[in-house]
Amino acid sequence: MASVILPDLGTEILIPVCAIIGIGFSLLQWLLVSKVKLVPGPAASNNSGAAGKNGYGDYLIEEEEGLNEHNVVLKCAEIQNAISEGATSFLFTEYQYVGIFMVAFAILIFVFLGSVEGFSTKSQPCTYDPLKMCKPALATAGFSTVSFVLGAVTSVVSGFLGMKIATYANARTTLEARKGVGKAFIIAFRSGAVMGFLLAANGLLVLYITINVFKLYYGDDWEGLFESITGYGLGGSSMALFGRVGGGIYTKAADVGADLVGKVERNIPEDDPRNPAVIADNVGDNVGDIAGMGSDLFGSYAESSCAALVVASISSFGINHEFTPMLYPLIVSSVGIIICLITTLFATDFFEIKAVKEIEPALKNQLIISTILMTIGVAIVSWVALPSSFTIFNFGTQKVVKNWQLFLCVAVGLWAGLIIGFVTEYYTSNAYSPVQDVADSCRTGAATNVIFGLALGYKSVIIPIFAIAVSIFVSFSFAAMYGIAVAALGMLSTIATGLAIDAYGPISDNAGGIAEMAGMSHRIRERTDALDAAGNTTAAIGKGFAIGSAALVSLALFGAFVSRASISTVDVLTPKVFIGLIVGAMLPYWFSAMTMKSVGSAALKMVEEVRRQFNTIPGLMEGTAKPDYATCVKISTDASIKEMIPPGALVMLTPLIVGIFFGVETLSGVLAGSLVSGVQIAISASNTGGAWDNAKKYIEAGASEHARSLGPKGSDPHKAAVIGDTIGDPLKDTSGPSLNILIKLMAVESLVFAPFFATHGGLLFKIF
């Protein structure tokens, strides 16, 4: 075999150094955000440099309009504090419940995997090479449990830190909006970057350290080593499931309640401080879109790395103990962090945003620049870190692969991600005809709006599915299942930029809410609305990425599972597999039904409470009395904690029940079925919801002649648009995004438990 240009020592330095640079960069961004003070300063200092950057002077709008700056800043600080406290207390409550689950599941992993060899501590013949001796199954059980806990903790920490920085930056973004839209954009974007880089770097560093520590015990048994690492992906995704479902139910219960009573019944603007549910709504943006999204993408990242490592460990890299090629997936991610760092500077330092219309292009350029640079980065990595030719395990045989073929696998995933992102943007941004058609259909009421919105969602599935299909075909033809795993990794290699763009959305949404609640002038609200509309589209792009990568990741995990469970072929014509297929395809519907109903019932309680307050608190509509925000926050918290358990249990228990009672063939059918139907529902739900939301914003902004003919706020078409937006809320923020976790999580869980299912599974078929 040809040797590798990059020495092992180089790999051992490169990966941790890139991770540390990522962490350092995120701390630097945080420092820059913290320079905006939330304490009132002397007004005089703001008048210097009147014709500054961004086409605005640095003077404050308040001074022109005679508003008291001192009160505004204090009000912003007070609101920010309330949002931060609400989000922190919710996450702590959620993590207590999730912690109990984590301990129980860790014990389950240990018992099930340990029982494979009857808890013996003797070395066993290896699964793939019976001539060699491998470490006992009990060791794999122990180490899988440890890596599961590590993955879970890293996932939780990623989500929590993201939420902290978002609640730290929201009021600062509002205050910067007084100086101009460019300043506010930079603060929101930098804060998003803090989360993106922290998460990407932490995920990489923890995984790298875990591999090295486990290696001290496993030595040359790389097959066992990387099998036990799969627990890391399982831990990451199981926490993400609860974060996404719990956070999604929380945020949408508050949002639907606030919109229905506030906008439709009482005719008060969005985020009006008189609305009792308004704080809960803003807290929800942070726990669902930020903490949930962070855990979700971390889970994808961990799983695609694990899937690639498992397949590589039984290929020539693992058999010949070639350390650098073995860690190729981690090297790609390390280079990704550096590429994203350069890309971020384009948005914050190289170019200034001067006008509202430049916001969306700036965010889109982030995706394009990072993809182009990453393609070059991956080419270099494939050249220095891989031998010119090697073999990859392909269902029992070894397939010869060249290094340029593996480069193409990563590149095809990377560019498929970009295509999915742009198609999502086309279908959800109000700059293009699909959303404008949906807005136009509001003329004849809510029913036509709903029909048009659903049709848009179904149609938006077509191109992403073709993109995923092409990348699967290309990568599988070149490098079998390993190709698909690295294609998923390619899609996620620019995760730091993707998350920065994604976290930017909820931060600007909160900034707009704070501006409205603090009673700032309508010009500031216009600026924050412009930031928010761009944020809505980028959030949809982020969801597109998450779903596309989930499809590839779960397919790669599925391949690893089939290899590990020693299934030679998955034959759809055998009844065992077909029943699994049809049941698996039903699961996303069952799961969506649970999450939608949870949002509906929680929103019902919220609507009743908001109505009660408007009817019983004297002076609330006049603005002389304060609403009781805390009760609404409590309703959302209680509902989401209670309601996240059944959908979570459905996803976590299905692979266990199917594997134990029906065996690995049926389970392979279930995984394939859930993957195929889950991806379609996830994309259509996310895009339908995003389109309805932006159709409403299109009418509210009234930026074009067409939009003005539908408006203003409070008109009949606007009310129809609000109803569409309300229906879309649980689709785009609860059911849609949680489905990608469903397909990944079932696959990674099956992979972790594969040795157990292969030896002890299929009880029912053994009886009959």
Structure confidence at residue 116 (pLDDT): 82
Residue from 340, 412, 436 nearest 694 by CA = 436
Structure confidence at residue 57 (pLDDT): 43
pLDDT, tens digit, for every residue of 497-547?
989 988 898 999 899 999 988 888 888 888 898 888 888 777 778 888 888
Residue from 15, 21, 13, 24 nearest 330 by CA = 15
Structure confidence at residue 317 (pLDDT): 85
3-state class of 732 per DSSP?
helix
pLDDT beyond 90 at 408: yes
> In the structure encoding, which two tokens stand for residue 353, read together?
């945003």
Give the confidence band of 61 by pLDDT, cuts at 50, 70, 90. low
Report H helices in 285-358. Answer: 293-313, 316-319, 323-326, 328-345
Residue from 378, 273, 313, 261 nearest 614 by CA = 261
Q: Averaged over 423-436, what is the pLDDT?
A: 91
Question: Which DSSP state fits 391?
Answer: E
Residue from 299, 313, 259, 247 nearest 94 by CA = 247
* 184 vs 116, residue with greater confidence: 184
pLDDT beyond 80 at 26: yes
Amino acid identity of residue 673, one-letter, is: G
Helix axes 645-701, 522-564, angle to 10 degrees: 140
Give the confidence band of 555 by pLDDT, cuts at 50, 70, 90. very high
pLDDT, tens digit, for every residue of 703-744?
888 989 987 888 899 989 999 998 998 898 889 889 989 999
Burial class (CB in 10 A: 0-12, 13-18, 19+), 483: buried
pLDDT beyond 90 at 137: no
Give the confidence band of 68 by pLDDT, cuts at 50, 70, 90. low
Angle, alpha carbons 130-232-758 (nearest 5°): 40
pLDDT, tens digit, for every residue of 602-656?
999 999 999 999 999 999 988 889 899 999 999 999 989 998 899 999 999 999 9
State residue 362 phi and psi, 5-degree precision: -60, -40
Q: Are 623 and 631 in contact (CB under 8 A)?
A: no
Structure confidence at residue 44 (pLDDT): 35
pLDDT beyond 80 at 308: yes
Q: Are 315 and 390 in contact (CB under 8 A)?
A: yes
> In the structure encoding, which two tokens stand for residue 488, read together?
């998923």
Contacts of 194 (CB under 8 A, 6+ apart): 26, 27, 29, 30, 33, 165
Residue from 243, 222, 371 nearest 299 by CA = 243
Percent of the chain with pLDDT over 70: 96
pLDDT, tens digit, for every residue of 99-124?
999 999 999 999 999 888 777 778 77
Q: Averaged over 378-398, what is the pLDDT?
A: 87
Question: Which DSSP state fits 263?
Answer: I
Q: In whole angstroms, give the CA distance from residue 138 to residue 122.
A: 9
Q: Are 720 and 699 in contact (CB under 8 A)?
A: no
Q: In whole angstroms, give the CA distance from residue 271 to residue 273.
A: 6
Q: In whole angstroms, give the CA distance from residue 394 to residue 398.
A: 6
Give the confidence band of 4 by pLDDT, cuts at 50, 70, 90. confident
pLDDT, tens digit, for every residue of 340-353?
999 999 888 888 88
pLDDT beyond 50 at 386: yes
pLDDT, tens digit, for every residue of 121-133?
787 777 767 777 7
Structure confidence at residue 66 (pLDDT): 47
Give the confidence band of 67 by pLDDT, cuts at 50, 70, 90. low
Torsion angle, alpha carbons of 385, 400, 311, 132, to 10: -100
Structure confidence at residue 262 (pLDDT): 86
> In the structure encoding, which two tokens stand for residue 341, read together?
């760092």
Give the confidence band of 41 by pLDDT, cuts at 50, 70, 90. low
Q: In whole angstroms, give the CA distance from residue 333 to residue 20.
A: 13
Q: In whole angstroms, give the CA distance from residue 126 to residue 107.
A: 25
pLDDT beyond 50 at 43: no
Cis amide linkage into residue 712, ω under 30° from 0: yes
Q: In whole angstroms, give the CA distance from residue 226 to residue 313.
A: 7
Contacts of 171 (CB under 8 A, 6+ apart): 38, 76, 77, 79, 80, 511, 514
Contacts of 13 (CB under 8 A, 6+ apart): none
Q: Are 242 and 287 in contact (CB under 8 A)?
A: no
Give the H/E segment covering residue 400.
strand 397-402
- Mean pLDDT computed over every residue of the chain: 88
DSSP secondary structure of 101-156: HHHHHHHHHHHHHHGGGTT--S-EE-SS-TTSEE--HHHHHHHHHHHHHHHHHHHH
Q: In whole angstroms, give the CA distance from residue 659 to residue 668.
A: 9
> In the structure encoding, which two tokens stand for residue 429, read together?
């941004």
Give the confidence band of 425 by pLDDT, cuts at 50, 70, 90. confident
Question: How many CB atoms are located within 10 Å of the residue 192 CB?
Answer: 34
Contacts of 324 (CB under 8 A, 6+ apart): 4, 6, 7, 8, 10, 11, 331, 385
Question: Which DSSP state fits 37?
Answer: -
DSSP secondary structure of 370-390: HHHHHHHHHHHHHHHHS-SEE
Structure confidence at residue 190 (pLDDT): 93
Q: Are 229 and 211 in contact (CB under 8 A)?
A: yes
Q: Which residue has the tokens 């925000």?
A: 629
Give the confidence band of 3 by pLDDT, cuts at 50, 70, 90. confident
Structure confidence at residue 2 (pLDDT): 57
Q: In whole angstroms, give the CA distance from residue 102 to residue 636.
A: 23
Structure confidence at residue 54 (pLDDT): 41
3-state class of 398 per DSSP?
strand
Q: Averaged over 383-410, what is the pLDDT?
A: 88
pLDDT beyond 80 at 445: yes
Contacts of 735 (CB under 8 A, 6+ apart): 248, 591, 592, 595, 596, 681, 685
Q: In whole angstroms, give the CA distance from residue 697 to residue 430.
A: 8
Amino acid identity of residue 671, one-letter, is: L
Q: Averaged over 204-231, what is the pLDDT?
A: 91
State residue 394 phi and psi, 5-degree precision: -135, 85
Q: Are 501 and 367 in contact (CB under 8 A)?
A: yes
Structure confidence at residue 46 (pLDDT): 41
Helix axes 293-313, 222-258, angle to 10 degrees: 160
Structure confidence at residue 522 (pLDDT): 85
pLDDT beyond 70 at 51: no
Give the confidence band of 134 by pLDDT, cuts at 50, 70, 90. confident
pLDDT, tens digit, for every residue of 461-499?
999 999 999 999 999 999 988 999 999 999 999 989 989
pLDDT beyond 90 at 270: no
pLDDT beyond 50 at 168: yes
Q: Average the pLDDT over each of 32-41, 109-118, 278-287, 401-410 and give the range with the smallest value.
A: 32-41
> In the structure encoding, which two tokens stand for residue 220, read together?
């040359």
pLDDT beyond 60 at 48: no
Q: In whole angstroms, give the CA distance from residue 556 to residue 311.
A: 9
